[in-house]
Amino acid sequence: MNLFTMGDTMYILTQTVRWLLILVLVATPWFFGGVWASVQWLLMFVAALLLGLDLVTRFGDDDRPNLVPSAWLPILFGIALGLFQLVPLAPNWAETFAPASLKWRQELTADADIDSPDTADAGQTVSESETPTHVTRSMYPAATREYLALLTLAMAVFVLASVHLVDRQSVVWFFVALGVCGAALSFFGLVQRLSWNGKFYWIFEPISGGVQSFGPFVNRNNAGGFLNLCLAAGIGWLVWLHRNQSWTTGDDGETPERRRTARGSSQRRYRQDSGESRSSRRTTSRPQSPDRDTPTDTTTDEATPATNDDAIEASPTGEQQAAPVEDLMQAYRRSRESSPSTPASDDESPEIVPVDLSTAYTGHRAPSQGEGRADDRADESRRSAREGHRSRSSSNSDRSRRSQTRYAMAANPISYGGAHRHGSILERIKGMGAGYFGDFDAPRLGSLAIVGCIAGGVLCTASRGSIVAMFAAALITAMVLAMRRGNRGYAAGMLVMLVAGVGLMSWSGQTEFVQSRFQELFENEKAYESGRLPNWQEALQAWPDFRYAGSGLGTYRLVYERFQNRYVPATTHMHAENQFVQSLVEGGVAAFSLLLLEILLTTLAIVRLYRTGGPVNNALAIAGTFGLTSQFIGGMFDFGLYIPSNAMLMAAMCGIVIGRAALLSVWPAESLDAIDSSTSTASGYQAPSMRASRQALSPALHDDTQTLAGEAKSRRVTKSRRSPMQVTRSSLLGLGAPTSVVTLLIGFLLLGCLFGSLEMNKASRIQAAERNAGLEQLSLESRPEVLAAKAAPLQTALPLRWDDAEAHRQLAELLVQQYRAATYHDLLIQQPPEVLAELQAQLEKANEAQSESGKDSPPPLIADLWLRSSAHHLFGVIHRLQQENQTSDIESLRQGTHVEQYLVPAGRHLLLAREIAPTIPQVHYLLAELSAVLPELGSDQIHLERTHVLAPGDAELWYWSGVLDLGAGRTEQACSDWNTSLLLSPSYANNIVESVRGKLTLRQLFSDVLPKQADLLLFVIQRNFAQPEMEAVRKRLLQFAEDALPSTKLPDAEYAYVAARIFNLQEKFDSAIPHYEKAIAAKPTSLGWRYEYAQMLLKAKKYEAAIEQATYLARVAPENKSYENLLRQAISDNNRKDLPTINK
């Protein structure tokens, strides 16, 4: 006899899917959260593999419930929305389905010549002939494909979890694995922070500073979000351990197995008395179609009888329960003893032959062919009569045993666990504590330690959003539990968990760091200005243009900047850090509605689990409440769910909750875990081997209508004996659907994961090439061979993903930088030998000065050659030659070797980048910079105008626009550009002053370029006119700054300091003193202001006041020698003032 059947194969495949899925969830965060495309394509491939295994089991010899959880649909519609955003539309169709995308592309890609400054803006230069031939709704299709791939990955995990991780054993192991993973991440993150050497794992260079990371996560906010999900799993494990133990041993001292055995014996006695045959028993509840997702081994040995905790809890009214498999084993042994030489058959063993596994596992037998629902309704009255008889047929021995237990508990309550039921409140609390700690064991201790460690890890991340989310989730979960009888103790446990986390944070010395993070919200006004709230307000201004279906998944960073009128240096908001704002911008009302619907369905599923009850359902409901609440709140301040580790874990947790709740909506609770109860080892039961179990029950299953796996039926029998589970039946949480439809959905996800894996594999090569290039570090690189080596990998990888606009832009910038390096090298060679010798001496002096001061200041000749080799200098030269009508010289420059080799291909890449993603402002600026060299690019003015439209708050681009305008001879426009740049930020004030030196008068500089703001004027004066030889000019400029004080708008403290500083530099000490005092009173901790004030008091010969300020400084910062020297000087000058003057 072949003992390895199809059912065994399906069991192995199912277990493979379960454990591999849990392994992926646990391993992904250790690879930097899966943020690299090189990890993401592997994850998508593994997801495709798991979906393929799932399909194999569906085409195998089994028949699972044809049920689609309702929560699948919003995500599937979200994937469909992403596909719709990628569909190329003809212009006439785009006017209806993508009007904003069509309008933006027409404005930003139409080529038009602008011959005069009076030309209208870019939107008025479009002609019908320049309309794009095809338009996608997404403003950047490549980014949309990436995000669509990640959404498909999350959906795959969601589906797999809702199918394969819903049984008790899988849920418990999910809790255990994620709890241990969260504790390990917390411990590792804390150790790495305390011993931070600037590298992840002490090996890998970080993307950003170490204080912004935690553990293997590049962003501490992402780490906090993931740990909150792990904390939810740990809480679920802790609750399950407590609920499972209290459920296994009831309050009356009677185990569920004894109660079930007693009920089973009374049922058998009743059936014997009434003469009811086994085949005539019917129930009105839905018969079980064996669950393929539960372990298939359903027999136990005598030493470890199987129980079904959830079955007893879910049927408090006395529904027919699962007959223990041990009864089948005993009956089989009796049949073997009666006929030792001949195997039992259907005729020889009447007690075993009629056994159907669905009846053995769940207490409900599937109907035979020809039986219908009418028989179910006809048997309702008989079932009710049996229920009533069962409730009245308790044996005297059972009542006697329960009475003895109550007397024993009253006599010795602590020993018997009843101390919390009698006496005063204090005695009850004492009894409860004694009972709890009396039952304390290793699993409970381990789960408590894990939960406390994860809570401490969330606090130590110093992620404000994650910390707030954890406390809010704990509070909301505690409120929900406090309203449910029997769960109020867990509400108090939430407080204990938070206290344990705070204790770990304090013990590790992270309290001060975390407090400083929260203090920044109230003390650092600049942090607010560059923070999330202003960004949300700006991004929502883009929503009306993409109201219904969004601008495209992954395009947030490309649409919000058009409405940003503030300068945030070196910051690009790749995400909104608010799930709801980002979904509204990228997916419009459609995506926003789908997100809310998914949250609603998940909430309903959690409610269903609470109402059903049971150790597993209750633990899963509590974990789901905490997890959903923490991510809902954390999602308002973070983008954690946009990285694979967090997205997959959230999808898995929601999938388990929704999948189990959906099955409970059509299956009785006892059916869901009946098979698993005999194989689960989590609650202390040891399952026998599969082969031994099959040998024990093979005579009873002779007809091959079911396998021991409890999951598979032959399709021939299925077609002739279709149970009600295969009849379409829908509920709010689960929809009945044909098996072919479910299989088609899984196949669709499989193909999506495969295509996503290919897409992310290509993206990983581009990403690796961009990291290798390191464009930010190459701005001063002057060696052509180094730049060529950096650009080569990007040139090789780009054809694999031709519509990557960012890659085209970066390659174009590398080519422009190669042109500059090659031109600089040529200019250097052209210098006379004596100049080169002098230059070598200057370089040696500059290197020595740099080693001493740490500042890089190249020699003047080097700086001049480097400027002359730039593309914007070439732009100015060509425009000057055009004004002089030097056509031959212009053509000579345009046909130069380096221009043909570097700038011409750079222009092609920029045009491609503009066509693919027209909202990247840097692309339009570079087109303007190269337009003089490459006439086919059109006028530079239209490119500059588009740059200003797309980045109105970028002070750097406004500065460089002024440079090009000045080079083109548009002086007035250049002054306007620089004025706008300085209004946004003074960062480029020095560059502007250097650019206008020798080209504008001082009056033009202060009247046309510099804004009438005293703080900005003071900054320029101190940085550029502080030399002694410029004292006369400095006085005039300081008077100009003083006149600008009334029109300057600053906070009171800053305004007082600026005024005091201006008066101080003018030596108007009497006017400066009250302003200094006001500024210091507003900000007493500003030691720099106080130090300036003390120095000024010395100059004004107010020694006592100077001593007072210097004494304060020396006391607050004794390690600062400048403060100590100032105090000594003040005391010395004060002592010298009383000495008589000696006339020589």
pLDDT tens-digit profile of 729-766? 567 888 877 888 888 999 999 999 999 999 999 999 99
- What is the Cα–Cα distance from 516 to 511, expressed in whole angstroms? 9
The answer to whether 470 touches 630, Cβ cutoff 8 Å, is yes
Distances (CA, A) of 22 to 17, 176, 757, 767, 935: 9, 10, 20, 28, 58
What count of other Cβ atoms lies within 10 Å of the Cβ of residue 915? 16
What is the b/e burial string over 128-146, where b = at least 16 CB atoms within 10 angstroms of the residue's CB? eeebbeebbbbbbbbbbbb
Listed as own residue / partner, the contacts of 703-707 with beta carbons closer than 8 Å and 24 or more positions apart are 703/346, 705/356, 706/290, 706/356, 706/357, 706/358, 707/5, 707/6, 707/7, 707/8, 707/61, 707/296
Instruction: For residue 200, report the phi and psi dihedrals to the nearest 5 degrees.
Output: -70, 140
pTM over 0.85: no
pLDDT at position 528, please? 62
pLDDT score recorded for residue 855: 58
Q: Find all residues with CB under 8 Å of 965, minimum gap 6, and list them.
A: 944, 971, 973, 974, 977
Tokens of 795: 């040139």
Are 620 and 175 in contact, with CB atoms under 8 Å apart? Answer: no
Quote the pLDDT of residue 62.
53
Amino acid at 1088: G
Query: Is pLDDT larger for residue 420 or for residue 550?
Result: 550
CA 468 – CA 638 distance, rounded (Å): 12
d(CA 96, CA 479): 49
* Residue 795, C-beta contacts closer than 8 angstroms, at least 6 positions apart: 811
What is the per-residue pLDDT for 728?
A: 44
User: What tens digit of pLDDT does each residue of 634-644 get?
Assistant: 999 888 899 99
Which has the closest alpha carbon to 810: 761, 777, 762? 777
CB of 734 within 8 A of CB of 663? Answer: yes
What's the pLDDT at 281?
37
Give every CB contact of residue 1078 below 8 A, 6+ residues apart in sequence: 1052, 1053, 1056
Which pLDDT tens digit goes with each residue over 774-824?
877 787 788 889 999 999 999 999 999 999 999 999 999 999 999 999 999
Q: Under 8 Å CB-to-CB from 331, ≥6 apart: which residues?
A: 349, 351, 352
What is d(CA 22, CA 964) in angstroms, rounded to the nearest whole number? 57
Note whether 1045 and 1059 are within 8 A (CB). Answer: yes
Residue 591 has pLDDT above 70, yes or no: yes
pLDDT of 930 > 80? The answer is yes
Residue bearing tokens 């890890």: 457
Give the list of residues 6+ apart from residue 203 with CB closer than 8 angstroms, or none: none
Domain assignments of the chain as residue spans, ordered by start: 407-438, 776-951
Greater model confidence, 157 or 997: 157
Q: Per-residue pLDDT for 917 more than 90?
A: yes
With beta carbons less than 8 A apart as the criterion, state whether 1000 and 971 touch. yes
Share above pLDDT 70 across residues of the chain, in percent, rounded to a whole number: 71
Looking at every residue in the chain, the average pLDDT score rounds to 77
- Banded pLDDT at 589 (limits 50, 70, 90): very high
- Which tens digit of pLDDT belongs to each residue from 504-514? 888 888 888 88
By mean pLDDT, which of 240-244, 802-806, 851-855, 1051-1055 is the weakest?
851-855
pLDDT more than 90, % of the chain:
40
DSSP three-state, residue 204: strand
> Predicted confidence band at 209 (pLDDT cuts at 50, 70, 90)?
very low
Instruction: Please tell me the least confidently modeled range out of 225-234, 332-341, 607-616, 767-776.
Output: 332-341
Q: Are 964 and 940 in contact (CB under 8 A)?
A: yes
Q: Report how far Cα 354 is from the mean position of its chain's Cα atoms.
A: 54
Output the 3-class SS for 1041-1090: HHHCHHHCCCCHHHHHHHHHHHHHHCCCHHHHHHHHHHHHHHCCCCHHHH
Contact predicate 70/732, CB 8 Å: yes
Q: Residue 754 corresponds to which amino acid?
A: L
Helix (H, G, I), strand (E, B) or coil at 68: strand
| Angstrom distances, CA of residue 638 to CA of 213, 582, 633, 971, 983 | 14, 11, 9, 45, 30
3-state secondary structure of 419: helix
* 390-435: pLDDT as tens digits: 444 444 555 555 555 554 444 444 444 444 455 566 666 666 556 5
- Both tokens assigned to 871: 């593309």
Distance of CA 449 to the CA centre of its chain: 26
Cβ–Cβ under 8 Å, residues 323 and 362: no
pLDDT at residue 426 in the model: 66
pLDDT, tens digit (0-9, with 9 covering 90-100), for 888-908 = 999 999 998 999 999 999 999
Q: How confident is the model over 271-305, as pLDDT tens digits?
A: 444 444 433 333 333 434 434 343 344 333 433 33
Query: What is the model's pLDDT at position 451?
Result: 92
1074 Cβ contact list (under 8 Å, min separation 6): none
C-alpha 13 chain-centroid distance? 31
Whether pLDDT at 66 is above 90: no
Token digits of residue 134: 């095809």
* Best CA proximity match to 823, nearest among 892, 877, 872, 870: 870
- Give the residue, 504 or 314, on which the prediction is more confident: 504
DSSP-H helix ranges across 165-255: 168-194, 220-248
The DSSP bridge pattern shows strands 734-736 and 67-69 to be: antiparallel
Query: What pLDDT score was predicted for residue 837?
Result: 81
Which of 961, 805, 811 lies closest to 875, judged by CA? 961
Kindly indicate the confidence band of residue 518, based on its pLDDT and cuts at 50, 70 and 90: confident
One-letter amino acid of 981: S
- pLDDT of 1013 over the 80 cut: yes
Using one digit for the tens of pLDDT, what is the confidence trace for 1051-1068? 889 999 999 999 999 989
**What is the band of 3 on the pLDDT scale with cuts at 50, 70, 90?**
low
Return the amino acid letter for 931. S
Question: Residue 809 corresponds to which tokens in the numbers above?
Answer: 């832009």
Assess whether pLDDT exceeds 60 at residue 55: yes
The most confident of 84-88, 200-204, 236-240, by mean pLDDT = 84-88
> What is the phi/psi pair of residue 682, to 5°?
-70, -30
Residues 6 or more apart whose Cβ sits within 8 Å of residue 367: 287, 375, 376, 721, 723, 724
Predicted confidence at residue 14, as pLDDT, reads 86
Question: CA 355 → CA 345, 346, 351, 362, 711, distances in Å?
Answer: 12, 10, 8, 12, 16
Rg of the chain over all Cα atoms, to the nearest angstrom: 38
Length of the chain: 1144
Q: What's residue 934's pLDDT?
A: 92
